[in-house]
Structure 1
Amino acid sequence: MIEPHVSKSGVAYPDDLVLLKRIYDEVCEERGIIPGSPEASELAIEAMRLFSAGIFDEGTIGRRLRHH
């Protein structure tokens, strides 16, 4: 897991994007969401919203996206 850090600006660095993409891909596969679909777009937006709100933990983001 990537070490959490504090991003007061909400900026996602390359390692953060790798983490978010991995979680996004897992949730899409689990839920049968087709990449590029409106549902996939909503999931991506929610992942970035969580990150921007200061949630950096992979498990927390994954749980929240799975229940979104």
Structure 2
Amino acid sequence: MVNPHFQQCVLYPCDLAMLQRVFNQVCAAGGHDAASPEAEILAAALLGLFQNGMTNEAALLAEMRSRQQVYLLRTG
């Protein structure tokens, strides 16, 4: 089921710039090429967090790093 907020969420240039910074940092930390399938999954997760109300840059970065660590632990 699609979150109603997801359909109505407006992304302003400052939001996109912040999301890009977080995305770039997470990709760099994980050694992901920005055009890789892994990076696409990261971008979707990041956007989902933002659209569900997590709009603080530091909180987004911490959550994405945490998710990346959990993924690495599960996959080796």
Greater relative contact order structure (CA < 8 Å, 6+ sep): 1
Q: Which amino acid aligns with 1:64?
A: E
What is the TM-score normalised by the length of structure 1? 0.82
* Residue 10 of structure 2: aligned partner: 11
Q: Percent identity?
A: 34
Runs of 4+ in 1 over 2 A off after TM superposition: none
Q: For this pair of structures, how many residues does the alignment match?
A: 61
Q: Looking at secondary structure, tell me which structure has more helix per residue.
A: 2
1:36 offset after TM fit, Å?
A: 0.9
Structure 2 unaligned runs (5+)? 68-76
What is the TM-score normalised by the length of structure 2? 0.74
CA RMSD between the two structures: 1.1
Q: Which amino acid aligns with 1:47?
A: L
Q: Which amino acid aligns with 1:34?
A: D
1:10, 1:53 within 8 Å by CA — same for their partners in 2? no
1:8-33 CA distances to partner (integer Å, 9 max, x unpaired)? 63211110000000010011011101
